[in-house]
Chain A
């Protein structure tokens, strides 16, 4: 069998006495949506940080598209097709929505040592950026300054920026955090179409969304994987129910 798109082997990260990632092994296939769930403090965001290259693991190895990337810089990983969104919205607040996404396009459109031409008038950057905004439903908000947009719009913009880098694997850190039901539903629909094109590693607390979308679910508990498998198996897993899901697995929102 061919190697999966992302392969994480025995990844371990300690912060002082806390083991945030404890011997984590998992993989993501092309066009698979692999969800990571677990209570707060389970080490989900630390895992994304290591995959994106912001946090260096203490042990273990990360392979992407057949190459080891464990020691690769964040921007090099992005160039290879790894894109992330942030749990706590991380945008260019003083730019317009379109400027934000266009920068993400620009990062993957060759070097930026171009000093003369007006970048805001460059269709090679603006057109794909508008397309990405339209895709998340923000087409009409393109020229709004980001600091004046709502929280929900910020979450969608996070997604648009990750999309605009033309990724092969999306690392999504709670894209639905703080969204209303309508916005959440829109994101679920979007992710469902997206996963036909790119692989997605999704961290999310919205169990309804996770069980509706995921091809595979991995449960993290204090940095350790306690279960991994298709949604139905996870729903039935006794240890998972005890550790985390409680009565919510059947579909209540906002764990």
Chain B
């Protein structure tokens, strides 16, 4: 369909190659910090991809998506503290809890639209934030240290940084592929139709609420997976991860990278977090530089970095 080597594909390939070869460089240079940074980037990219499924394709702007990072993380943390260290228990349970939570929030919020929808998703996330802060047994506001990463028998050793990084990367790539299949399937066309013209969708005979709800739940579960990974990565979980500013970060990643494409949020996450890291070394006032940069992309490139690259490709 597309030309094999336009600037857009070139950047995607370059980013992929960078992500794939990073551990090799880190091992050679003995740089564990970089590996840790990029593990975090890959995990947050996964969260941004999940948000973009409902926001970019389904037209549902959630301002509380980080809540699933928190729920996924807390399920892992709480189980670990209670002596359940097996990933075969922790992970499915975390995803299931995220799914049930998303189902409940979706049922209550999806009848509203626009600003009201944003406010309801925000309200639920803030509620979870305060509930987590009240869990005295699990650290309250201070958070909970997770002593051991999830155990998967002999299948994979998450304590090994390189193995953990590659697991995160594999899950990200698998998710991007899955979401790409999904948005081009019958289901995907329905949610894109809803984004484009809800009234018309009803008129041609779609019961749209159930499709929006399923999209909302899928998106929440994928983000829950990112939460599971993040808790394993940092050995720590606290209410701060669900704060609305974190949800805002995820929106910025998706918008910056490009909401119109499945891989856009990955580019957005890499760009945002690398810039953040680099600028913070130059000056402690780095947001003063980063803010206007984001503003420029949003103002002059609807469709984000992805759209800029696509435009370059067309000449």
Assembly CA distance A122 to B206 (angstroms)? 19
Given contacts A116-B181, A118-B185, contact A75 B202 (CB under 8 A): yes
Question: Of A95, A120, A164, which is within 8 A of B184 by CB?
Answer: A120
Give chain B residues whose Cβ lies under 8 Å from the Cβ of A83. 203-204
B196 contacts A112, C-beta separation under 8 Å: no
A116 to B187, CA, bound (A): 9
**Is B197's CB under 8 angstroms from A119's CB?**
no
B200, A73: Cβ atoms closer than 8 Å: no
* B200 pairs with A90, CB closer than 8 A: yes
Which stretch of B13-21, B98-106, B116-124, B207-215 is in the interface? B207-215
B193 part of interface (Cβ distance < 8 Å): yes
- How far is it, in angstroms, between the C-alpha of A73 and the C-alpha of B206 when the chains are bound? 10
Q: Does A91 contact B (CB under 8 A)?
A: yes
CB distance from A65 to the nearest CB of B (A): 15
**Taking CB as reference atom, which chain A residue is nearest B199?**
A90
Given contacts A74-B203, A92-B200, whether A106 and B190 have CB atoms under 8 Å apart is: yes
- A123 vs B141: C-alpha distance when bound (angstroms): 56
B23 sits at the interface (CB 8 A): no
- Knowing A75-B208, A165-B205 touch, does A103 contact B185 (C-beta < 8 A)? no
The residues of B that contact A112 with a CB separation of less than 8 Å are 186-187, 189-190, 206, 211
- Contact at A75–B207, with CB atoms within 8 Å? yes
Contact with A along B209-223 (1 / 0, CB 8 A): 001001000000000
State whether the Cβ of A15 lies closer than 8 Å to any Cβ in chain B: no
Q: Could you tell me the distance between the alpha carbons of A146 and B313 in the complex, rounded to whole angstroms?
A: 23
Instruction: Return 11 A-B CB contacts under 8 Å, by A number.
Output: A78-B204, A84-B203, A91-B200, A102-B189, A103-B204, A112-B211, A113-B214, A117-B185, A118-B184, A119-B185, A119-B189
CB-CB nearest 9 A-B residue pairs? A78-B205, A107-B205, A92-B196, A112-B186, A114-B186, A74-B202, A119-B186, A104-B204, A107-B204
Q: What is the interface of chain A, defined by CB distance below 8 A to chain B?
A: 52, 54, 73-76, 78-79, 83-84, 86, 90-95, 99, 102-104, 106-108, 112-120, 122, 125, 161, 164-165
